[in-house]
Amino acid sequence: MSLECGVFHTRYESDMGLRRWPAERIRLAVFAVFVLVFPFVAGPYWLDLANQVAIATVGAIGLNILVGYTGQISLGQGAFMAIGAYSAGLLTLNLGLPWGVSIALACVFTSVAGTFFGLPSLRLKGLYLAIATLAAQEIVEWAMTHWTAVTGGTEAIVLPAPSLFGVRLNTTFNFYWFGVAMAAGTALFAANLFRTRMGRAFVAVRDQDIAASVIGVNLFRTKLLAFATSSFFVGLAGAMIAYYRTIITWERFTLDTSIVYLAMIIVGGLGSIRGSFFGAALITLLPALITNAGRALQETAPMVAGLLPYAQQAVFGIVIILFLIFEPKGLSKLWGNVKDYFHVWPFAYRRG
């Protein structure tokens, strides 16, 4: 808990607020203004990227609740997103439910499925749990492609375009608001979650599960709740993809997806909400930036540009390795460093 010079909290409410310092509120306001203005100045391409970032943020926060905060490794992200996407789509197609209801039910359904696949976590830790969740991924992938009666097999499922009060939701501009609202809601929920008893229990389980159980944390309940909460948001991310693209294909939810999301939270910062956002943004934008760099080089240095597609494969790995070596706490910590640096800038004196 850092202190800010000249700010004195005189009430418990202000002392316990999420944003306790004026600088934090100003930064939040600046970011909010940016988010509000962005869609009016950005073209459809950047808006599309922004929407992908919003969806990835929801998914990454969901995964971070499980991996970063509770310390339960999961390779089943793709599977849980698939469950969210498929159930959101199939509920509307088969039962005729409105898209909003379908998305809500899909989240609950994913939450239940996540809890089920989280059962091994009661006995398994670390690598063993990773393999157990990998099994979940494979089972769901197999079900998606082979359970033809329900999922339509490898064929894509086409959804009706979602609309809200007669406005079509899945255009890049309209979806942006939905995506931002969902991402902001998820972030707000998660930030508050870790100020509650249950959230603290998650963290206690991560830090030392035996010690946690000694001080009265019910490991069984806590671990399963972590899986349920995490899967809820992961399912939401999946359902958002389904209604943004209005087409569901299993190829979007493979093991690759699980690994990309793990990369997001590692690069962004394990156990950090803002880190989830940073990671989601970086991992989503990185391929686009490399693509643009490649195209800029296509005319000036065709030889280098020719190698870029292959470099792109390596960049993911390199980025993760570099972060693990130089900044294991991820972009979130880097941002913290920037803030610290400017804390009393331009005066060199620093506390601590």
Partner 1 sequence: MTRRQNAGPIRLLAAALLLASAACGGDGGGDGAADADIKVGAIFDLTGPTADVGTDYADGMRGYADWMNLRGGIEGRPIDLIYQDYAYQVARAEQLYSQFVNEGVVVFMGWGTGDTEALRLRITEDEIPFSSASLSHVLGDPADSPYNFLVASSYTDQFRIALDWIARNHGEGTPVVALMHNASPFGLSPSRHGGVEFAAALGIDLTLYEMPRGAVDYTAEFSRIRQSGARYVVFQNTSGPAAVALQNARSLGVDATFICLNWCSNAQLVQLAGEAAEGVVGTIPYAPLSVDVPGTRVIREYLEAKGESIEGRTNAYTQAWWTFSIFAEAMKQVLASDQELTGANIKAALETFTDLDMGGVTVPITFTPTDHRGAKGLRIFRVEGGEWVPLTEFVQAPAAP
In the region spanning residues 22 to 81, those forming contacts with partner 1, defined by CB under 8 A, are 43-45, 48-49, 52
Shortest reach from residue 28's CB to partner 1, in Å: 20
The whole-angstrom separation of Cα 296 and Cα 249 is 32
Please report whether residue 274 would count as binding partner 1 according to CB under 8 A. Answer: no
For 124-273, where are the E strands, in sequence order?
A: 157-158, 163-164, 167-168, 247-248
Per-residue mark of binding to partner 1, 209-248 (x: CB under 8 A): ------------------------------------xxx-
Query: How many helices (H) and strands (E) would you count in the chain?
Result: 15, 4
* Tokens coding 281: 């943004």
Please report whether residue 320 would count as binding partner 1 according to CB under 8 A. Answer: no
**Residue of 196, 180, 207, 241 whose CA lies nearest to 68:** 207
Among 9, 21, 100, 249, binds partner 1 (CB under 8 A): 249
Shortest reach from residue 192's CB to partner 1, in Å: 28
Please report whether residue 138 would count as binding partner 1 according to CB under 8 A. Answer: no
Question: By CB under 8 A, how many residues form the interface with partner 1?
Answer: 46
Contact (CB, 8 A) for 60 and 264: yes
Shortest reach from residue 337's CB to partner 1, in Å: 5
| Main-chain dihedrals φ then ψ at residue 18, nearest 5 degrees | -70, -40
Among 4, 15, 207, 256, binds partner 1 (CB under 8 A): 256
> How many beta carbons lie within 10 A of that of residue 351, not counting itself?
9
Shortest reach from residue 121's CB to partner 1, in Å: 28
The whole-angstrom separation of Cα 76 and Cα 230 is 11
Instruction: Work out the burial of residue 253: count CB atoms within 10 Å of its CB; fewer than 13 is exposed, 13-18 middle, 19 or more buried.
Output: buried
Shortest reach from residue 105's CB to partner 1, in Å: 24
- Piece of the chain touching partner 1 by CB under 8 A; list 7-15, 29-37, 89-97, 151-159: 151-159
The DSSP-derived string for 278-341 is: HHHHHHHHHHHHHHHHHHHHHHH-HHHHHHHHHHHHHHHHHHHHHHHHH-TTHHHHHHHHHHHH
Contact residues toward partner 1 (CB under 8 A) are 43-45, 48-49, 52, 145, 153-156, 158, 172, 245-247, 249, 251-252, 256, 285, 287-289, 291-296, 309-310, 312-313, 326-327, 333-335, 337-338, 340-341, 348, 350, 352
